[in-house]
Structure 1
């Protein structure tokens, strides 16, 4: 889909408690190297690379075992997952903002950036497939536990972020340089509508909510299941999500269809689309899996052991 990414936050009020690049730029990992806790998943349409953002940096996932319907336009990664660029920051918030453009947040790697007033990365950005990162704004101030982006007509990128420390949504209309504080909300997951930059969805302990004013106010989406993680289709007309029991749901924007179950407690979830099939990435008890049919059949990309 055009808006790849889903990022995992800590949502204490919810019923369910849940606790990349060319080979020359990656550090090889053996099959015994675990990824650890996965915060987010995403697909870069420019490179065809599939990423996992984790407590220990961003990793490139192997996708060579997937069929041609998987929406990776270029050569697939092979072998074991590989940590990209040797970077070990705790990548809490993560999103593929567009072809070749990644945004993230979280905490520095141990021993790095000790001059920060607090160990928060603010908003960081990579334009070289997660090999290197540059600070954009709010360094030492904010830890975004969720990020999502939509393009604006003036060529800028709107960035939505959930400031986990303050418990508020922040929005930037200049590609993350300056920010406005929006609603205070008990948030689990954010999803922006790629066809309407002002429309933002949120999964919360109070249900599935929608904002039509850039996250300033929210109303309940009537008839929706109690979603825990959610993503929006690239045409803005539907959803794929996981509820608080682990049930996968899909929606055309009018009605909801119950699909398969995840296994155990999901850590991250991403709808990456496809022309003929609906590819979803899930990090759960199995490891990281890819499915073209909402979980009915899956291919395991990496287990929890590596």
Structure 2
């Protein structure tokens, strides 16, 4: 692994050079430098300064958590609160069960986890992590859950029914983001070539030539999905990513998104940037800064 993390430019096919977007290099992340050795929750600044790799929102409590290069943070209030040990949570996927997360990446200083950490799971909201598989082998940069199991990429696209045994997919692309839903076998993968879609839990894939070239994607339900282009254009799909409709636009350097369907049927969208979290309560037509208490 390289000694320092870095970014490299990835150009989406068919896009002009001016529209090229910086994405995290799939092979260019290393363990975070000089992190805290404490594994307890500690107060930090108003907002994490490290790069954000994932976002989770607890629908019941409204708690917003960011998985970052320096660990997991609760940004629901000011100052933000660090949760658990310092690990570079490169891959991060919440589950339908509150407080249960899957992750991957690299250990921070003082961590007892191997490097890379492989697949790990927390059942207590990120305070502690259990080693499941591929310790010392895989740094999954993209990860999602489906009813068939886990789909993840460490440079090779892999699927697992139980988080312990793994199969290798025949897909040759490297996804920037994987999006799925625990109630469905459908998976979306954002790639340089365009949006890829699987209906069998990540085993086989089809390139959706008519879909927008999105950088981020997330499912609110088994059918409702959101995609965001590098330009910030927001798109909505009601059929699991087959067809898309343009909604609105989100400004800022987006680093992670999530979405959920509200009681009124509208989609809520949270988009994490380097400066704060943006929220849409109208399906992506409009966004406003999230203001923690």
Q: TM-score, normalising length from structure 1?
A: 0.76
Q: 1:233 to 1:10 in 2, by over 3 A?
A: farther
* 2:66 alignment partner, one of 36, 39, 52: 52
What's the counterpart of residue 249 of structure 1?
A: 235
Instruction: Look up the SS of the partner of 2:109 in the other structure.
Output: coil
Deviation at 1:300, TM superposition (A): 2.5
Instruction: Look up the SS of the partner of 2:236 in the other structure.
Output: strand
Deviation at 1:48, TM superposition (A): 4.5
Contact kept? 1:171, 1:181, Cα under 8 Å: yes
Number of aligned pairs?
258
Match runs of 1:100-249 below 5 Å: 100-113=99-112, 116=114, 119-151=115-147, 158-163=149-154, 167-174=155-162, 176-182=163-169, 183-197=171-185, 199-234=186-221, 236-249=222-235
Unaligned runs of 5+ in 1: 1-8, 20-24, 63-77, 153-157
State yes or no: 1:299 paired with 2:289.
Answer: yes
What's the counterpart of residue 80 of structure 2?
A: 81
Distance 2:196 2:90 in 1: 22
Match runs of 1:242-281 below 5 Å: 242-253=228-239, 255-276=243-264, 277-281=266-270
Contact kept? 1:263, 1:286, Cα under 8 Å: no
Distance 2:235 2:178 in 1: 16
Deviation at 1:193, TM superposition (A): 4.3
What's the counterpart of residue 5 of structure 1?
A: none
Task: Note the aligned Cα RMSD (angstroms).
Answer: 2.4
State yes or no: 1:26 paired with 2:41.
Answer: yes
Distance 1:151 1:218 in 2: 17
Distance 1:188 1:11 in 2: 12
| Cα deviation code 1:82-115 (max 9, x no counterpart) | 1112x1111111111221311111100034348x
Distance 1:297 1:45 in 2: 18
Distance 2:55 2:66 in 1: 5
Contact kept? 1:39, 1:93, Cα under 8 Å: yes
Deviation at 1:265, TM superposition (A): 2.5
Instruction: Look up the SS of the partner of 2:89 in the other structure.
Output: strand
**Would you identify which runs of 4 or more consecutive aligned residues in structure 1 move more than 6 Å?**
none
Unaligned runs of 5+ in 2: 1-6, 13-19, 25-39
What's the counterpart of residue 71 of structure 1?
A: none
Instruction: Look up the SS of the partner of 2:177 in the other structure.
Output: strand
